Structure 1
Amino acid sequence: MKRILGVLLVLALALTLLQLDYSKDREGSYEYYVSHWEEVGVPNLVTAVLADWRAYDSLGEATLLFTSVVGFYLLLGGKKK
């Protein structure tokens, strides 16, 4: 049962990743921050990038790491009695 659930989750993830749009935008985040960094409310461009965009990126990475650790814990049977 766990293997079937694992295979279904991997297939769902693969289908999701295949449906994403990987085309490159002509204007990326660098051009946006260079021209609009005052809107963030931080007086320095580097700090604006770190405080605005990188904070969301780090939060996403922490969430992914936590989810993977909990997933492996559950797949391995949880706490043994």
Structure 2
Amino acid sequence: MKKVALLLTAALGFLLLSLTYSPPYEGSYTYYVSHWEEIGVPNLVSAILAGWRAYDSLGEASLLFTAVTGFYILLGGKKK
């Protein structure tokens, strides 16, 4: 079990170190600035928040599910 955890940790570390952290030339900010009327929200800041709300909620739900699953496993699962 420790070998699997070590292998997964090393793979995640390698993946994170291989990422490029340079900003993209054009991204979502450029899109929102040039097309913010298409979203249907009259304010640019609100348009950006409304566009990313689904991703934010999905991330929070994933984090909560992972934390609950981790505590469940840590406490030993179901008691018989």
Tell me, yes or no, whether TM beats 0.5: yes
Q: Distance in 2 between matches of 1:47 and 1:78?
A: 43
Q: Higher relative CO (CA 8 A, sep ≥ 6), structure 1 or 2?
A: 1
Gaps of 5+ in 1: none
Structure 1 length-normalised TM: 0.66
- Structure 2 matches for 1:32-47, cutoff 5 A? 32-47=31-46
Q: What is the match of residue 80 of structure 1? A: 79
The verdict on how the C-alpha distance between 1:56 and 1:48 changes in structure 2, with shifts beyond 3 A counting, is same
Aligned residues: 80
Deviation at 1:6, TM superposition (A): 2.2
Structure 2 residue runs of 5 or longer lacking an equivalent are none
1-side partners of 2:63 and 2:50: how far apart? Answer: 20
Percent identical pairs in the alignment equals 70
* Deviation >3 Å, runs of 4+: 26-31
Deviation at 1:72, TM superposition (A): 4.3
The correspondence of residues 1-81 of structure 1 with structure 2, limited to 5 A, is 1=1, 3-81=2-80
